[in-house]
Amino acid sequence: MTTATGYAPNRTLPLRVEIVRQFKRRRTLAMFGLLLALPWVLVIAFQIGPQSPGEEQSLRISDLATQSGLNFAAFALSVSASFLLVVAVALFCGDTVASEANWSSLRYLLAAPVPRDRLLRQKLIVALGFSAAAVICLPVMALLAGTLAFGWDDIQVPGTGEVIPALDVLPRFGIVIAYAMVSQLVVAALAFLISTMTDSPLGAVGGAVGLWIVCTILQAVEALGVLREFLPTFWNNAWLDALQPELDWSGMAKGASVSITYAAILIAIAFRRFRHKDVVS
Amino acid sequence: MKRVAALVVALALIGVTTWLVWPSAPEVRGQDQKITVVDGPADDQRVELDTTFFPPPDGGKAPVVLLAHGFGGSKQSMRDQAIRLAQEGYAVLTWSARGFGRSTGQIALNSPDYEVKDVKQLIDWLAERPEVQLDASGDPRVGIAGGSYGGAIALMTAAFDQRVDAIVPQITWSDLADALFPNAATTTQTTAQSTAQATTEAEAESGADSPAAPEAGAASGVFKRMWAGIFFGQGVSLDASSLLGPREAAGPLTPQQARCGRFLPEICDIYQDVAEDGRATQEAIALLRKSSPVTVADRIKAPTLLIQGQRDSLFPLSHADANAKAIAAAGTPVSLAWFDGGHDGGNGEADWLFEQSSAWFARYLKGEGSGAPPVSAFTVTRDGGRDPGTRQRIRLHPEAGSYPGLGGTDTTTVELAGPEQNIVNPPGGAPASISTVPGIGGLLGGQGNGGVSIDMPGQSAAFESRPLTAPLQLTGSPSITVRVTGEGEATLFAKLYDVAEGNQLPTLPAGLVAPVRVTIPEGAGSTEATIALPAVDHRFAVGHRLRLVVTTTDMGFATPAAPATYQVSLASPALTVPTVRTLAAAPTGVAWWVWAMPLASIVVAAVLLATGRTPARLRRRPVRASATEPASIPATLEPGVPNTTPASPPNGKPATPTATTPNGQSPDAASATGTAKDSPSDVAAVVNGSSAEAAPVTSVDTAVVASTDVPLEITGLTKAYRNGELAVDGLSFRVEKGQVLGLLGPNGAGKTTTMRMMMGLIHPDDGEIRIFGEPVTPGAPVLSRLGSFVEGPGFLPHLSGRDNIELYWAATGRPVADAHFDEALEIAGLGKALERAVRTYSQGMRQRLAIAQAMLGLPDLLVLDEPTNGLDPPQIREMREVLKRYARDGRTVIVSSHMLAEVEQTCSHVVVMQRGRLVSTGPVSQLLSSAAVADGHGPRLEDVFLDLIGDKA
CATH classification (class only), B412-579 = mainly beta
- Which chain A residue shows the shortest CA-CA distance from B772? A2
A24, A112, A162 member nearest B471 (Cβ): A162
Q: What is the CATH number of domain B669-948?
A: 3.40.50.300
A118 to chain B, any CB pair closer than 8 A? The answer is yes
> B762 vs A57: CB contact, 8 Å cut-off?
no
Spell out where A68-179 has E strands.
155-156, 163-164
Over 90: is that where the pLDDT of A127 sits?
yes
End-to-end, the C-alpha distance of chain B in Å comes to 43
> A112 vs B783: CB contact, 8 Å cut-off?
yes
A55, A104, A265 member nearest B605 (Cβ): A265
> A57 vs B502: CB contact, 8 Å cut-off?
yes
Q: What is the pLDDT of residue B244?
A: 42
CB A234 within 8 A of CB A228: yes
Domain boundaries, chain B: 31-181+290-400, 412-579, 669-948
Q: How do residues A42-67 score in pLDDT, each as one tens digit?
A: 999 988 876 655 445 566 777 778 88
| List of residues 6+ apart from B34 with CB closer than 8 A | B48, B49, B50, B51
Q: Among A197, A257, A275, pick the best mutation site for testing chain B contact (most B Cβ within 10 A).
A: A257
> A108 vs B646: CB contact, 8 Å cut-off?
no
Domain boundaries, chain A: 12-49+56-276
> B798 vs A25: CB contact, 8 Å cut-off?
yes
- Closest residue by Cα to residue A145 from A243, A72, A62: A72
- Which chain B residue shows the shortest CA-CA distance from A105? B794
Burial of B128 (0-12, 13-18, 19+ CB in 10 A): exposed
Smallest CA–CA distance, residue A221 to chain B, in Å, is 7
B389, B602, B609 member nearest A234 (Cβ): B389
Q: Which of residues 207-236 of A touch B (CB under 8 A)?
A: 216, 219-220, 222, 228, 231, 233-236
A265 to chain B, any CB pair closer than 8 A? The answer is yes
> A111 vs B788: CB contact, 8 Å cut-off?
yes
- Which chain A residue shows the shortest CA-CA distance from B611? A272
Cα torsion at B64, B65, B66, B68 (round to 10°)? -170
Residues written for chain B: 953
- Which chain B residue shows the shortest CA-CA distance from A2? B782
pLDDT band at A36 (very low <50, low <70, confident <90, very high): very high
Judging contacts by C-beta atoms under 8 Å, the chain A residues touching residue B500 are 57
Q: What is the pLDDT of residue B227?
A: 85
Q: What is the pLDDT of residue A57?
A: 53
A113: preceding bond cis by omega (within 30 degrees) = yes
Smallest CA–CA distance, residue A222 to chain B, in Å, is 7
- Mean pLDDT per 10-residue run, chain B (953 residues)? 76 82 74 89 89 88 91 87 90 91 87 91 91 89 91 93 93 90 75 40 38 55 85 52 44 67 82 83 87 89 93 91 91 92 82 90 82 84 70 78 89 92 88 77 45 79 91 92 90 91 79 90 86 92 90 89 90 91 68 87 92 54 38 35 38 39 39 39 36 41 58 92 87 91 87 91 92 90 92 92 93 91 87 91 90 92 88 86 86 86 86 89 83 60 77 50
Q: Among B347, B542, B772, B856, pick the best mutation site for testing chain A contact (most A Cβ within 10 A).
A: B542
Radius of gyration of chain A (CA): 21
Q: What is the pLDDT of residue B879?
A: 86
Smallest CA–CA distance, residue B147 to chain A, in Å, is 27
Judging contacts by C-beta atoms under 8 Å, the chain A residues touching residue B779 are 9, 110, 113-118
Burial of B452 (0-12, 13-18, 19+ CB in 10 A): middle
> B604 vs A3: CB contact, 8 Å cut-off?
no
Q: Would strands B64-68 and B91-95 be described as parallel, antiparallel, or unpaired?
A: parallel
- Which chain B residue shows the shortest CA-CA distance from A235? B388
Q: How do residues A215-248 score in pLDDT, each as one tens digit?
A: 988 888 877 877 888 888 888 888 888 877 777 7
Q: Which CATH number fits domain B31-181+290-400: 3.40.50.1820, 3.40.50.150, 3.40.50.720, 3.40.1160.10?
A: 3.40.50.1820
Q: What is the pLDDT of residue A159?
A: 66
Q: What is the pLDDT of residue B731?
A: 92
Q: What is the pLDDT of residue B866?
A: 87
User: Distance between CA atoms of B226 and B515, rounded to whole angstroms?
Assistant: 14
Rounded to 10 deg, the angle between the A250-276 and A185-197 helix axes is: 10
CB B253 within 8 A of CB B133: no
Judging contacts by C-beta atoms under 8 Å, the chain B residues touching residue A11 are 813-814
- Which chain A residue shows the shortest CA-CA distance from B761? A279
Q: Tell me what the pLDDT averaged over chain A comes to.
A: 87
Q: Which of residues 152-181 of A touch B (CB under 8 A)?
A: 159-163
Q: How do residues A14-23 score in pLDDT, each as one tens digit?
A: 999 999 999 9
Q: What is the pLDDT of residue A81?
A: 84
Smallest CA–CA distance, residue A17 to chain B, in Å, is 6
Judging contacts by C-beta atoms under 8 Å, the chain A residues touching residue B601 are 260-262, 264-265
**B110, HSE (Cβ side, Cα atoms, 13 Å):** 31
Q: Among A107, A108, A262, pick the best mutation site for testing chain B contact (most B Cβ within 10 A).
A: A108
Smallest CA–CA distance, residue A71 to chain B, in Å, is 17
- Which chain A residue shows the shortest CA-CA distance from B610? A272
H or E element that contains B34: strand B31-39
Spell out where A37-84 has E strands.
none
Q: How do residues A137-168 score in pLDDT, each as one tens digit?
A: 999 999 999 999 988 888 877 766 677 788 88
User: Distance between CA atoms of A56 and B713, rounded to whole angstroms?
Assistant: 82
> A258 vs B597: CB contact, 8 Å cut-off?
yes
- Which chain B residue shows the shortest CA-CA distance from A107? B761
> B798 vs A159: CB contact, 8 Å cut-off?
no
> For B145-160, b where at least 16 C-beta lie within 10 A, e where not — what string?
bbbbbbbbbbbbbbbb
Q: How do residues A180-207 score in pLDDT, each as one tens digit?
A: 999 999 999 999 999 999 989 999 999 9
Q: What is the pLDDT of residue B502?
A: 67
